[in-house]
A and B are shown apart, each in its own frame.
Chain A
Amino acid sequence: MTYLQRWKSKLWLIGVAVGVICLVVGAYNGQLEDIYRKAIAICLECIGIG
């Protein structure tokens, strides 16, 4: 297995790490609250009357 193949096979881990960091930063900035607030109200655009 070449160095490049080995590196590529671990790329998903870097992606997950980036995702976790983004999620933590987002949560710190209150973005999870924003998602929740939007999701618990009926989205009129989504159902075609807004």
Chain B
Amino acid sequence: MKGHKKLGIDKLRLGVQTIYTILTNGYLYGYLNGKIYQGKLKYACVPGLNCYSCPGAVGSCPLGALQAALNERNITVPFAVLGFFFIFGSILGRFVCGWLCPFGWVQDLLHKIPLFRKRKKLPYHHILKYLKYVVLVGFVLIGSSFLFTGFAKIPAFCKFLCPSGTLFGAIPLLSTNNALQSQIGGLFFWKLGVLLVILLVSIKVYRPFCQYLCPLGAIYGWFNRFSLVQVQWQQEKCTSCMACKRACPMDLEPEEISVSEECIRCGKCVDACPQDCLHLGNHKADKCEV
């Protein structure tokens, strides 16, 4: 990614996030009429958390699709969804979270609001960061397969937790679709409460949903060690000034950046490094000393 330093990688990232969100949620007819897109593009999953009930969504949500597959009457291996995860994960890893996820983009924008003293993480971060794995196993895998509401199969994460569904799906759909408005009940207000808490906390803490709750981040984090897109660290040039750690919103040390499940490849460390020893780009083991 040459030339990004002139532009400023944060501005470049914001541009990519904005354009990507508009492109993958650009079905204007849906917003105007309270309907969702039903074209062929929905055969494919998009990489980020993007509710397929968003009136503008032109692709399928990978987590929604995974839960739908696990909801099937016959227990089957969800090969197609796993295929999308392996392809996106092996190429991009958590670059998806940093650059392509619409809900991550919303949290980034909220964190720019000059209110409150900013924090990188919540207290007990070292414990709370594992919560996303609990959500992945408890809500997405087990919850969708056979738990909750009397062993009925339901997409538990989408139903009880997903803030993207409320923000991008429920709010625009319910504001234009009268038939759906009449069905609003306690569950909707629960989900609205979850969304509001996450959005409010996002103003103070950097991406709380991505750091502590997102099961998609938990999945892509697993791919971070070997994905094609990497942050390469040249140890021999590093003076251990820790400018990268101070700039890193996840508070990672330089030797952790490339291998950590928490790194979202935002590139702030690349911009901050005075020695130019961090690079965001493709995987080259001869240059990377981690």
Q: Which chain A residues have a beta carbon within 8 Å of chain B's beta carbons?
A: 1, 5-6, 8-9, 11-16, 18-27, 29, 31-36, 38-40, 42-50
Contacts and interface: CB of A to CB of B under 8 A. Distances in A.
Contacts of A35: 42-43, 45, 60, 65, 68-69, 80-81
A19 B226 CA distance: 14
Nearest to A27: B80
A26 B91 CA distance: 20
A41 B151 CA distance: 23
B229 to A, nearest CB: 9
Contact of B52 (A29, A39, A50): A39
B83 A22 contact: yes
Contacts of A6: 285
Interface residues of B, number: 62
Contacts of B236: none
Binding site of A, secondary structure by majority: helix, strand, loop or mixed? helix
A20 B87 CA distance: 7
A8 B50 CA distance: 31
B155 A12 contact: no
A48 B90 contact: no
Interface of B is mostly: helix
B102 interface: no
Contacts of A26: 78-83
B191 A23 contact: no
A1 B289 CA distance: 10
Given A34-B68, A36-B42, A40-B42, A48 B86 contact: no
Interface stretch (B18-26, B108-116, B158-166, B244-252): B158-166
Closest 6 CB pairs of A and B: A26-B80, A15-B90, A19-B86, A23-B83, A26-B79, A22-B83
Contacts, number: 169
Interface in B82-100: 82-91
Interface stretch (B1-9, B181-189, B260-268, B273-281): B181-189
Interface of B: 36-38, 40, 42-43, 45, 51-53, 59-61, 64-65, 68-69, 72, 76, 78-91, 154-155, 158-159, 162, 165-166, 169-170, 173-174, 180, 183-185, 187-192, 223, 226-228, 283-286
A27 to B, nearest CB: 6
B98 to A, nearest CB: 17
B170 A48 contact: yes
22 contacts: A5-B286, A12-B90, A15-B223, A19-B89, A23-B87, A29-B80, A31-B79, A32-B80, A35-B60, A35-B65, A36-B40, A39-B60, A39-B61, A39-B64, A40-B37, A42-B53, A43-B169, A45-B155, A45-B165, A48-B165, A48-B170, A49-B187
Contact of B36 (A16, A33, A40): A40
B25 to A, nearest CB: 14
